[in-house]
Chains A and B, each alone.
Chain A
Amino acid sequence: MTGPGPLIVVEDLWHTYMAGTPFEHHALRGLSLEIRAGEIAGIIGQTGSGKSTLIQYFNGLMRPRRGRVIVAGQNLGARDADIGAVRTCVGLVFQDPEDQVFERLVGDDVAYGPRQLGLPFAEIRERVRWAMETVGLPFDAFKDRYTFRLSGGELRKAALAGVLALRPRVLVLDEPTSGLDPGSREELRARIGEFRARAGLTLVLVSHDMDEVARLCDRLYVLHDGAIAVTGTPREVFRERARLVELGLAPPVPAQVIQRLRERGYPIAGDGLTVDEAARAIATLLGAPA
């Protein structure tokens, strides 16, 4: 790594499934993006827009045949690329935590990755403790629990801790809050901001929840048909209302309310990106003290 440049650079990336068969399908069509150090980037788009294919390039699970992917300074297209360095840099947490948690005890499961790195015992224990505390599974209370007895929310946290214990610089979370109840969802969202601060992490969230990405992300990439259709800050992206509707995506609910009021001729301020922002603007409209 040299300098503070972007951690992940994707340039004109193409990916074709089942090439040369009648089912040939281009999942990625000349996609380009950059993930900068320290940011929370959001990737949104319909199922089939290429999101899952794309994130598999981020930690070298796939290698480009057409286009360039550079992660942590390693060119993934080069035969001599140090894939180990890439995997250490980027951690991936998939949608179904059940697929990623396989040990009997929570502590063993979180320790699995660091153990594979061949770290000394004391270091492994320290990392496991840190990762579990960071995700909100107190080490002493949870290390000896059976993984099959965990609730959905706890299982998700265990999967997350297992990846965090590898101390990645970039954490990619695929639909981190789907299947969780609203309370656990809220807790995990609150912790995502904390991760960045505590672990100095760069985060990539793949999400279908527009209210979630509007609140959490610094930058959004909207995927459509294997390429970036819209990009910018959440505020910029959700102003492209017509374009998003075309892509089958709806702006966050508060932004929809603000937009409807504006269409009815009310002089209302702001974008209503979050509930609080919209509530303030509407309360002013209703003559309430700010």
Chain B
Amino acid sequence: MREPLIACDGVEFAYAAQAPTERVLRGASLAVYPGEHLAIIGPNGSGKSTLARHFNGLLRPTAGTVHVGGMDTRDPAHTRAIRRTVGMVFQHPESQMVATIVEEDVAFGPENLGVPRAELRRRVREALDVVGMWGARDRPPHLLSAGQKQRVAIAGVLAMQPACIVLDEATSMLDPRGRTEVAEVVAELRRRGTAIVSITHLMNEAAAADRVIVLHRGMVHLSGAPRDVFAHPEMLREIGLDVPVVALLADRLRARVPAFPRGLLGVDELVDAIAARAPVPR
């Protein structure tokens, strides 16, 4: 059994302004393992972003525990080490950009950690290479496209060499090209062994993860491989979610052709499944 990188055990949380009965998280238990790509989906108000803020101690549970690399997030002595282990990227990259030049922006985090000069340069170069933005290192961030800004924000987190990066709806404001760019970076990070948690409303994006967790009313509602989670459109629809368009189309086909298989997620898979059942064209 692998040791989890992040372990949430019975996490409850209520914002101070709310009545204690209005808990956003109501006993959420889950784990993030080293090197995996985990997607967390859930309807608006299900507690996804609140949960994400527990992963690096931005929020601390009202009840239950969160351990990051074995460290309890409630202990302030661990805060710095926890923030170095888990990096966060938010919806609006502008909100986490500080410098006037891309290269300096990426250097900001590790510089504050006291990384020595030579090591700092190496890290910045590597982080910008991974996200494909080294060529834009001299440019002011505000002149970049939204997708490019988000890649620079990821590089800034990456330069701190975290074991896990949490993307909190990092692609929801991006156009299709920007989303593809970020998806490619995520795949590359995963190859390099960084764990990725993507919080997303885009079912196609969740379909690309190793594992999907469905959050509903502050609790884990479903969890499993994408093809298992998305094999049950009716269960997801009940809580205001949906399945990727390919799975939806496959589901419609199954209504007419009962033997049609479940669990298809990609366009190629679907086309193959249809071709396997259709008379060979002449």
Contacts and interface: CB of A to CB of B under 8 A. Distances in A.
Contact of B176 (A23, A185, A250): A250
A141 interface: no
A211 interface: yes
Contacts of B257: 283, 286, 288
B129 to A, nearest CB: 23
Interface in B16-55: 42-46
Contacts of A266: 275, 278, 281
A246 interface: no
A152 B147 contact: no
B267 to A, nearest CB: 5
B181 to A, nearest CB: 11
Given A46-B175, A208-B176, A253 B203 contact: no
Interface string A171-193: 00001001111111110000000
Given A253-B245, A275-B248, A276-B252, A152 B271 contact: no
Of listed A151, A252, A257, A287, residue having the most chain B CB within 10 A? A257
A182 B201 contact: yes
Nearest to B277: A286
A283 B271 contact: no
A3 interface: no
A279 B253 CA distance: 6
A179 B249 contact: no
A119 interface: no
Contacts of B268: 260
Nearest to B173: A178
A95 B240 CA distance: 21
B245 A211 contact: yes
A30 B38 CA distance: 46
Interface string A269-290: 0000001101100110111110
A279 B240 contact: no
Interface string B242-253: 100110110011
Contacts of A186: 242
Given A181-B201, A254-B245, A152 B44 contact: yes
A182 B240 contact: yes
Given A151-B45, A278-B249, 4 more contacts: A95-B173, A183-B241, A266-B275, A279-B249
Interface of B: 42-46, 91, 143, 145-147, 169, 172-178, 201, 203, 237, 239-242, 245-246, 248-249, 252-253, 256-257, 260, 267-268, 270-271, 274-275, 277-279, 281
12 contacts: A47-B178, A48-B145, A95-B173, A151-B44, A175-B173, A182-B240, A249-B176, A257-B271, A282-B274, A283-B253, A286-B274, A288-B256
